[in-house]
Structure 1
């Protein structure tokens, strides 16, 4: 799909590694310029170099839930590459494992701030700065953990369920010139998800009809499609990308 996003600029949060970097790589391959974010400058600089350098990629380090950082990211896209046509809210955290009964409520608030409120704020800012006038497309990276109880990562799942609702609400508010959808991955082999599969990957993958866990490219291709005109009549959709595991679970 080289050239799919020629002349367009994408913002991808949480993109120094893992799913976010995979998405940024795919968008650059499809012709976009990208502005990527992460908390730490050094990994971000390495990611920019891997993407092809400053002609196609810029990095802005900071906390995704910092409103001033968000404004800098949007301004960098508009001032450096001439627009902010595409947004991928990928950054997310899972600071606590386990259920809700013993949950640290400060950690819960931080989870919602990063996984939900930061995405809303970025949508607001990019809409004001660019998309309200020029249109655009947005993808939120959610999770199948948001589809039902997940006692191992309960607060993370709750925040992703909220993000799913946010996606559908914004689809109603942003139309007709801006589309927004979400992708819901199952377990993808990244540093972020090691708690879920490390040391037992084969066992974790056994219930998946495709008999493997995901990799970042599996998610990146779907995100590219959802941002493209090929998905021009899709908005407010929660697209599960899970190797079939939710279907298998439903069939039991």
Structure 2
């Protein structure tokens, strides 16, 4: 059976853990050649090894998406390895840890905005010409915090709102050659979630209609749909994988 991404090259940031790793593994299972990008080279390599051991094709590339020179080097490495790009998944991001406004330092603000928002911009800017050539797709990972308060502090919330704006602007500019969409996960059980929440908070009932945390694999399934030809007339939209949190 031919996979939904058979023969396509997919670039995935933050592929070393969580939703990024689950997306990379799923995409490879669906026939994609995966460029697993992460700031942590060892984590990216572990994802690539998992894919290769399952019979897929993958390469690991270290990148700091907040630095244009690093993004350009990663782009060149992808093109050297695969020659083309069909799909870009802007998944990498960091959280601000829910600080109050008065406790949000300028340094924290800059770090979160640079990674989550500027990083999405730089990756999109550098890969857009190659995605145009391939009639490709971009999927940006926002968050429920991109639509309402309560998912983070002011820096994280602002960054995730900005990703929705980048999605809308680039969908309008890059269409009809490139489709651009956003997925906004809700409470999802990842390494980041475990770091941000106490054991008591993790064990408490989850205040969403589905009454549980989502899994990275469940989010990856939504990303796969938007990246595939199944979503051939879908662009400029924002799609929930949040258990009904925003519903």
Residues in 2 aligned to 1:17 and 1:164: alpha-carbon distance in whole angstroms: 23
Matches within 5 A, 1:72-221: 72-128=73-129, 130-150=130-150, 152-194=152-194, 195-196=196-197, 198-205=199-206, 207-221=207-221
Moved over 6 A (4+): none
> Is contact 1:187-1:196 (8 Å) kept?
no
Aligned residues: 245
Q: Which stretch of the first structure deviates more once superposed, 51-60 or 82-91?
A: 51-60
Measured against aligned partners, the alpha-carbon deviations of 1:88-134 in whole angstroms (never above 9, x if no partner) come to: 00000124432222210121012111111111111111113x12322
Q: Which stretch of the first structure deviates more once superposed, 158-167 or 62-71?
A: 62-71
- Give the SS at the match of 1:115: helix
Residues in 2 aligned to 1:61 and 1:34: alpha-carbon distance in whole angstroms: 14
- Give the SS at the match of 1:200: helix
1:89 to 1:151, Cα distance in 2 relative to 1, 3 A? closer
* RMSD of aligned alpha carbons: 1.8
What is the CA distance between 1:153 and its match in structure 2? 2.8
Residues in 2 aligned to 1:46 and 1:37: alpha-carbon distance in whole angstroms: 11
> Is contact 2:205-2:211 (8 Å) kept?
no
TM-score, with structure 2 as normaliser: 0.93
What is the CA distance between 1:135 and its match in structure 2? 1.8
TM-score, with structure 1 as normaliser: 0.91
Residues in 2 aligned to 1:14 and 1:155: alpha-carbon distance in whole angstroms: 19
Q: Which stretch of the first structure deviates more once superposed, 100-109 or 212-221?
A: 100-109
Residues in 1 aligned to 2:198 and 2:179: alpha-carbon distance in whole angstroms: 34
- Give the SS at the match of 1:98: coil
1:17 to 2:14 alignment: no
What is the CA distance between 1:66 and its match in structure 2? 1.8
- Give the SS at the match of 2:78: helix
What is the CA distance between 1:151 and its match in structure 2? 7.2
> Is contact 1:146-1:159 (8 Å) kept?
yes
- Give the SS at the match of 2:103: coil
5+ residue gaps in structure 1? 248-252
